[in-house]
Each structure stands twice: as structure tokens, then as C-alpha cells.
A and B are shown apart, each in its own frame.
Chain A
Amino acid sequence: MDTFEIAGKIFTSRLIVGTGKYSSPAVMVKAHEASGAEMVTVAVRRVNISDRSKESLLDYIDTSKYFLLPNTAGCYTADDAIRTARLGREAGLSNWVKLEVIGDERTLFPDNEALLDATRVLVREGFVVLP
């Protein structure tokens, strides 16, 4: 069987699937199952204080089946991404992070220098940093 290893963790699927833009949580769950992926990415975002639904994304993801990979979507500076990564670790009890620092708002092309800066800091703090 082909396996995929990152930082000592072994996956049997090389597919990493997102959790955004599905028409419903039920569709997301079915898509994850159909994909065979074992790792799903989630975004770290501010809780909407004024209009909170009691449902959380984590209600729909079986974390005994799927490994959560937080990402720093929406961050424009290394500092933002570093803080978001730390928050993601605290919220999800995982020290993995998919790092994103936006360089161009229109194209979402990354700011590579900021990515490297943030990577150096986060690796020193024990994170497993993915691009």
C-alpha cells in the first residue's frame, strides 16, 4: 500500500481536502468520505460574537477519523500568520499548520518572504509547517 509520511505521521491517502464552500455540512461529510482523504484543512477565524450558531464545524468532522490541519487563511503579514498558527494550535491541540500569507489581495499570490519569516519562527516553536 502506498503510504504518505509527514513528520512521522503516516497517511494512506495523499489527498488533503478542504472544508470550505460546500453547499452544506452534510455534503462536506459525504465528500470527505468519498475522497478517502485522511487529512482535512480548516481555517482559523474569529467567532462571530453577535450572530453565533451553536453548530461548529467540528460537530461534523469525526476527529478520530480525520486529522485536522489548521491554516492561516486571510493573513497578510508574518506576524498575523504566526499568531493565527498559535491560536490554531490552542484551539485544535495540533501543532501542524498550513501556512498562508497573502501577498496580493486580488490573485492571492503568497508573500514568500513573509512565509519564510513565519516558518522560521513557527518551526522553532515546535510546529510542523506545511506550505
Chain B
Amino acid sequence: MKITLNGDPFDVAGPLTIADLLKRLDIDARRVAVERNLVVLKRALFETTEVNEGDQIEIVNFVGGG
């Protein structure tokens, strides 16, 4: 299915949850925050939230800055 991931088009085989997506991207779920369709997703919901066709997903973490 086609989604938008961090601003870019992204193809992913579904069905999958947000937790699945992070695992597939090799991203540690404890280190990031995820926004789905402009709504911040609580970490506790990663395992149960499905990724749908057309979703806009943003995955952020902390980087150096100030």
C-alpha cells in the first residue's frame, strides 16, 4: 500500500501496524515519536494501530540542536 512517510511516498506491504512498520524500518520504538495523519500517536498504541492506504506518517526523534 502507498503511504507518505516523513514527507516522501513510501510503498509498504500490508496489513501492518505502526509497530510492524517501525520494526521493518529497523527503528527502535522507544526512541521515537510517531504522528499519523497529523495526530501524535501514544506509544502504547503502536501495536494496535493499523497503517492504512494513504496515511501520512511522521517518525521523529531527538537530534543535536539547541
Q: Which residues of chain A have a CB within 8 Å of any CB of chain B?
A: 17-22, 28, 40-47, 49, 52, 56-58, 68, 70-71, 73, 83-84, 86-92
Contact digits for B35-48, partner A, Cβ 8 Å, 1 yes 0 no: 10010111100000
B63 at interface (Cβ–Cβ under 8 A)?
yes
A44 to B8, CA, bound (A): 18
Give the contact-size bracket for chain B: 20 to 34
Q: Which residues of chain B are near A58, meaning CB under 8 Å?
A: 31, 61-62
Can you list the 3 inter-chain pairs with the closest CB atoms, starting with the nearest?
Answer: A18-B66, A43-B65, A91-B33
- Determine whether the beta carbon of B35 is less than 8 Å from that of A47: no
Interface residues of B (CB under 8 A from A): 5-8, 10, 25-28, 31-35, 38, 40-43, 58-66
Interface centre among B33, B38, B42 (most CB of A within 10 A): B33
What separation, in Å, do the CA atoms of A23 and B25 have in the docked complex?
A: 28
Chain B contacts of A89 at CB under 8 A?
33, 40
Q: Are A52 and B40 in contact (CB under 8 A)?
A: no
11 contacts between A and B (CB under 8 A): A18-B64, A18-B65, A20-B66, A40-B66, A42-B63, A47-B60, A49-B10, A56-B28, A56-B31, A71-B65, A86-B40
